[in-house]
Every structure is written in structure tokens, then in C-alpha cells.
């Protein structure tokens, strides 16, 4: 159904706060159900991951429950390459995280090369340069708001990539850092982090649907968009320096790790970055 008038407000962040909250709550419920489905699949009879998630969930930490990365498979032939600029800014963020003990949110934008799992990131945003927040103000609510805005503003990018017709896929990666003093499990994705990845992926799908209804976008671009993304990833940078990128596959309902993470150096060579080296401590008895 077409909307009336010229004031098209398909972009999430242009809707009123109550509508946003309701839409996000719905997406969160859906993501939660999917996350539980993933965890249930690990409890199959022959699965050596069996019992791991329930053991950590028994700590009663809810969204903060650490989910050890050893239970996730690696993405086939994966590679992430960060531009020199992106890598430099991620280093600064890691320094702030270590020095101030705060969690810093950020977003990376890039492209996935045709028919590969090779991703190149060349744009970096953090809430500091997007919404004027200072590092100390970075809390989860503000991160979410900043991300919702970015999902909306990502429309232009989706359109631009679709117009290139070269089969590359736009990638948007939602990330945050984990300071060391918050928890002994700091080098681990939390249950909430994993659910957020599913939820952000759904937010992007929503933007895609809105664009499909947009009369200002050509049929050709809509077709490209249908075929080529965009794709959502997430990244946790742990205080120990691990750069942990994760992909959620909606089709087979599973998470996959990127294990080859590289950066461009100032002399134009590529340098390997550490990832997923953190050993998640065994579950503690909290109750």
C-alpha cells in the first residue's frame, strides 16, 4: 500500500519515539526467539557443544551471560581487511577502552567482494562523531539510538552499492568494545551481543522492505538490492586486543566467526590482527 502525500517517512529514525520503541521491542522479541532456537540446536544428541550454553545461563546473568566463542564455527574462507584509517581509529578506541574502562560503540561500513567471504572496511563511525556524545556518555541506550539512526541513513549506501551492479555486497558492522574491569568474561560475546546481531540484521531487512516500496528507487536498483544485500556483521573488540567479528546466517540459523582479520599498514602491506584468543573462564556459581 502506498503512503499518501510527499512526506514519506519510511526511515526508522524519522518516526516518533514511541513507534521506534514499539518496532524495536517487536524485533527484539523475534531475535530472542531465534537466539533460543540457535542454542537449542546445540543441544542435539551428538553435538559436542551440548550443555555449554545452559551451564553459563545457569549463572543467572541474563543478557550479560558470556557465550564462549569456542562453540561457534568459523566462516568458510573468511577474510576481513581494514583500511589504514579504520584500523588507526579502532586502535584509538581500544586505547580509550583500556584507559577509561568504558565500552565504546562504533560502526564499520564496507563491501563484500563478489562471491567471496572477503570483506573490506573503509568507513568508520563512532557515536562520538555521529551524535556528539563524549566517550563517557556511551551507554547501551545511546548506542542503540545511534545505531537505529545509522540503519536509516544506510539507505543511501544500499542504493549506491546496488547501482554499481558489480555483485559486491554492502556490509554494515555494528561493534563495541569490552573493557577489562567489567567482568572476568570481558573477552567473550554476551548473550545480549548475539541477540543484537540478529536484531540489527532484522532492522536492515526492514529498511530493505521500505526501500522496495519507495517509488523514487528504480526497479533495476531494487533488483540488485534484492540480490546483493546489505549484510550485517558485528564486532567486539576486547581489551586484550582481540578483534572478534561475527556473522549470523539467517538461513541456517547459526553464528560464524571471522578468523582472518587484517589491516593495512602505513607502508601499504597487510598485517594480521589477533582474534578470538581469549579463553572464557568456566561458569561461576553466582546464585
Q: Work out how close the CB of 118 gets to Zn ion at its nearest, in angstroms, rounded to a whole number.
A: 26
Using CB positions, name the residue nearest to Zn ion.
Answer: 193
**CB closer to Zn ion, 195 vs 263:** 195
**CB closer to Zn ion, 119 vs 239:** 239
Distance CA 112, CA 171 (A): 7
Long-range contacts of 155-159 (CB under 8 A, 24+ apart): 155/11, 155/207, 155/210, 155/211, 157/109, 157/230, 158/207, 158/208, 158/211, 158/225, 158/229, 158/230, 159/211, 159/217, 159/221, 159/225
**CB closer to Zn ion, 180 vs 214:** 180
Q: Work out how close the CB of 185 gets to Zn ion at its nearest, in angstroms, rounded to a whole number.
A: 10
Residues that bind Zn ion (CB under 5 A): 190, 193
Q: Work out how close the CB of 244 gets to Zn ion at its nearest, in angstroms, rounded to a whole number.
A: 10
Q: Work out how close the CB of 62 gets to Zn ion at its nearest, in angstroms, rounded to a whole number.
A: 13
The CA–CA distances, whole Å, from 252 to 4, 45, 74, 225 equal 39, 18, 14, 21
**CB closer to Zn ion, 38 vs 221:** 38
Element (H, E) at 142: helix 140-164
Q: Work out how close the CB of 175 gets to Zn ion at its nearest, in angstroms, rounded to a whole number.
A: 9
**CB closer to Zn ion, 199 vs 228:** 199
Amino acid at each position: 500500500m502506498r503512503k499518501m502525500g510527499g512526506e514519506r517517512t519510511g526511515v526508522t529514525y524519522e518516526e516518533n519515539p514511541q513507534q521506534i520503541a514499539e518496532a524495536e521491542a517487536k524485533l527484539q522479541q523475534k531475535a530472542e526467539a531465534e537466539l533460543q532456537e540457535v542454542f537449542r540446536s546445540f543441544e542435539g544428541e551428538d553435538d559436542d557443544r551440548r550443555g555449554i550454553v545452559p551451564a553459563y545461563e545457569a549463572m543467572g546473568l541474563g543478557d550479560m551471560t558470556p557465550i564462549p566463542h569456542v562453540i561457534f564455527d568459523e566462516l568458510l574462507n573468511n577474510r576481513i581487511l581494514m583500511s589504514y584509517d579504520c584500523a588507526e581509529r579502532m586502535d584509538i578506541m581500544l586505547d580509550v577502552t583500556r584507559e577509561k574502562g568504558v565500552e565504546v560503540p562504533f560502526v564499520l561500513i564496507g563491501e563484500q567482494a563478489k562471491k567471496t567471504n572477503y570483506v573490506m572496511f573503509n568507513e568508520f563511525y563512532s557515536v562520538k562523531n555521529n551524535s556528539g556524545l563524549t566517550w563517557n556518555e556511551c551507554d547501551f541506550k545511546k548506542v542503540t539510538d545511534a545505531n537505529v539512526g545509522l540503519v536509516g541513513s544506510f539507505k543511501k549506501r544500499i542504493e549506491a552499492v546496488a547501482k554499481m551492479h558489480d555483485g559486491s555486497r554492502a556490509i554494515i558492522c555494528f561493534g563495541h568494545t569490552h573493557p577489562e574491569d567489567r567482568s572476568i568474561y570481558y573477552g567473550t560475546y554476551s548473550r545480549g551481543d548475539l541477540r543484537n546481531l540478529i536484531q540489527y540484521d532484522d532492522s536492515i531487512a526492514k529498511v530493505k522492505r521500505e526501500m522496495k516500496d519507495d517509488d523514487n528507487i528504480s526497479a533495476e536498483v531494487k533488483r540488485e538490492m534484492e540480490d546483493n544485500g546489505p549484510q550485517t556483521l558485528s564486532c567486539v573488540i576486547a581489551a586484550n586486543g582481540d578483534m572478534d567479528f561475527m556473522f549470523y546466517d539467517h538461513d541456517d540459523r547459526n553464528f560464524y566467526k571471522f578468523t582472518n582479520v587484517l589491516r593495512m599498514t602505513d607502508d601499504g602491506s597487510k598485517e594480521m590482527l589477533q582474534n578470538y584468543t581469549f579463553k572464557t573462564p568456566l561458569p561461576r556459581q553466582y546464585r
